Structure 1
Amino acid sequence: MKIKKNIEKIPGGMMVVPLVIGAIIHTIWPKADVALTGVTGSYMVGTSVILFIFFFAVGTNINLKSSGKIAAKGVTLLLGKVILAAFNASNGGLYVALMTTIPNRDVDVAAYPFFSIQSGPFFTMITLGLAGIGAFPWPALVSTLVPFVLGMIVGGLDHDMRDLFSPLQGGLVPFFAFTIGYSLNLDMILQSGLVGILVGVLVVFVSGYVLYLLDRYVVRSDGLAGWAASSTAGAAVSVPIVIAQMNPAFKSTAGSATAIVATSVLVSAILTPIVTMWYYRRLVKKGKVTVAHSAAAQTPTPAK
């Protein structure tokens, strides 16, 4: 039975299918993690633990000589998201998992910590003129960098360790995707209606196109990372409530805004992998990227 091949017939299938399964289970059985408890229950809500292992494995495959390119790409994507104030929270887990399923994207994956800080309410507060209330999330940024740095050190010191941990990247993707899906609920679509769906579609195509342009013409890459960063982060669901708590003027709209953002998270989580894989296949067809995996970080060939 060709399970993997059948799943991969769907664009971004190894990411999308487990994610949708997780969302369906959470919608039908929202307390599944509590009921199952133990190892299974902990796994269903263990996104952070899987991320640490995932980022460590990615780090072992990073070439330190690519650090300048990594920082440039990460900061560029960060600024692009922040400028698009309404869409400034990108699903970093989705981005990393998606880019890991594509060959030779180590630089793109390693750029994630540099733009991960845009996934919370910090930059939204700046946009609303409330920057004095928030604090720069240095601990969150450092926490994201730790597994990458550890992996880079271990992989750089011993190629046998790199060979041991690097292959974990692909195998962890469906497990991580499921935990993302389990944090979502299909009922949110009914609560927000067409507005939430429209926002999700706009987030993918508007922010995705801007980030694609920045990645292609500023970073001088092929633009694929821009499309992969076009989603809405799950953490963004909490932003309307946080803002309302800090400024009562927003309390009346916090509920509806939360439903809209939640729908955007779900819609973009499904649509972003599809669009990204479509563009990747287009690059492959034009001969702009190779399809063979590399043991070290590669700099993508700029699209022409």
Structure 2
Amino acid sequence: MKRAIDKIPGGMMIIPLLIGAVLRTLFPHLADDPVFKSSFTGGLFTGASALLAAFYICLGSTIQLRDTGYILRKGVALWAGKVVTAAIIGFLIKWLAPDQNHLVLGLSALAIVAAFSDTNGGLYMALMGQLGKRREDVAAYSIMSLESGPFFTMLILGVTGLASFPLLAFVYAILPLIIGMVLGNLDDEMRKFLSKAQDVLIPMFALALGFGINLANVLKAGLSGIVLGLLVVVVTGAVLVLLDRLTGGNGLAGIAAASTAGNAAAVPMAVAAAYAGYKGVAATATVQVAASVIVTAILVPILTAWYARRVNGRADSGHAPVA
């Protein structure tokens, strides 16, 4: 079963999310049942916030602060490229769109910023480990992983005027990640212990997130999610290739980072919990971002392998793309 799920891009996030969404669609009033809500089963299906907090602690423990030189320069460039690009798009939406919750094809500012601002780290490291020439390019994700979680999405939405958050909302959003970073950097054994749990927590919080989605309300999210994924690859790909070249690379790391992280699908719900203005579009945004995860997970390996053959020549093209 696990092998079959792993063959699907972002499968450990997507499949449980869909299972939760199907259950919510078939039994829309189950979440209101007091017996269900008070049970362990109810906690599993409705406790997305607690599960996400635990996930971010474990994820934070893997971020190490010892990186210097090329790793720091490369990681900061790619990280800033994603975040600044998402911020520029946020400003454009604020200035040009009268309704930020219903843009073209039903996309919202929330979905766009969440999808653009977070890189699929596993995909990036797999691609650079197989197709890249320098192990430091793989290690650069230790800096890029700062994108993880709702903090930068909230920051971009707040700075661009697309939302308003109290200061403590930012503190509480990033605190679990910081706790994990502190624990992981103080103790290598603690880092190894906590890092093992993040993969287990992904399907758990995905199931809970899915249970908050009624598929009857998001039937149109498929096409919009595909468009969102294409935009992430094209727009961030162009920016990151340029930044990669400016920091001593050949552009390969830029293409490998032009994706949407699987955990980005959890961001819309987390943001909506802090800002009521997005509650109405959070479910649709979750599905759209999840679709972007799949689209980018399919396209980025293909484009990265093609670019590697082009840059490194036919002699270096014996590696298959990583899915």
Instruction: Give the TM-score range, shorter chain.
Output: 0.5 to 0.7
Instruction: Name 2:143's counterpart in structure 1.
Output: 107
Listed one character per residue, the Cα deviations across residues 27-56 of structure 1 (whole Å, up to 9, x for unaligned) are 111233343222221221222211111111
Partners of 1:50 and 1:241 lie apart in 2 by 21
Number of residue-to-residue matches in the alignment: 259
For structure 2, the residue ranges without an aligned partner over 5 or more in a row are 94-102, 127-137, 246-252, 309-323
Relative distance call for 1:152 and 1:116 in structure 2 (3 A) is same
Contact 1:100/1:109 (<8 A) preserved: no
Secondary structure of the corresponding residue to residue 62 of structure 1: coil
2:277 paired with 1:242: yes
Report the CA distance shift for 1:110/1:216 in structure 2 as closer, same or farther (over 3 A). Answer: same
The answer as to whether partners of 1:228 and 1:272 remain within 8 angstroms in 2 is yes
Paired residue type of 1:40 = T
Instruction: Please give the alpha-carbon distance, in whole angstroms, between the structure 2 residues aligned to 1:211 and 1:181.
Output: 27
> Normalising to structure 1: TM-score of the pair?
0.68
Name the aligned partner's letter for residue 77 of structure 1: K
1:48 aligned residue: 49
Question: Which residue, 17, 24, 27 being the options, matches 1:26?
Answer: 24
Structure 1 pair 265–80 and aligned structure 2 pair: CA distance change class (3 A): same
Q: How does 1:1-304 map to 2 (within 5 A)?
A: 3-35=1-33, 36-37=36-37, 38-66=39-67, 73-84=78-89, 85=93, 86=103, 87-90=108-111, 99=121, 105-112=141-148, 115-117=152-154, 122=158, 126=161, 135-189=164-218, 197-218=222-243, 221-228=253-260, 234-235=268-269, 242=277, 262-269=283-290, 271-279=291-299, 281-282=301-302
**Deviation, structure 1 residue 138:** 2.9
Tell me, in whole angstroms, the C-alpha distance in 2 between the residues paired with 1:241 and 1:162.
Answer: 35
| Counterpart residue type for residue 234 of structure 1 | P
Counterparts of 2:116 and 2:197, CA distance in 1: 16
Instruction: Note the alpha carbon deviations across 1:64-83, whole angstroms, 9 max, x for none.
Output: 03496666555443332233
Q: Hey, what's the Cα distance between the residues in 2 that align with 1:8 and 1:24? A: 20
The CA deviation at 1:225 is 4.2
SS of 1:149 mapped into structure 2: helix
Report % sequence identity.
Answer: 25
Give, as a single letter, the amino acid of the residue that structure 2 aligns with 1:81: A
Aligned partner letter, 1:213: A
**C-alpha contact (below 8 Å) 1:81/1:88 kept by paired residues:** no
Deviation at 1:143, TM superposition (A): 1.7
CA displacement, residues 91-121 of structure 1 (integer Å, 9 cap, x when unaligned): 859987964586564433322355221586x
Between 1:141-150 and 1:19-28, the stretch displaced more is: 141-150
Structure 1 range deviating more: 232-241 or 22-31: 232-241
Q: Is the 8 A contact 2:114 2:289 kept in 1?
A: no
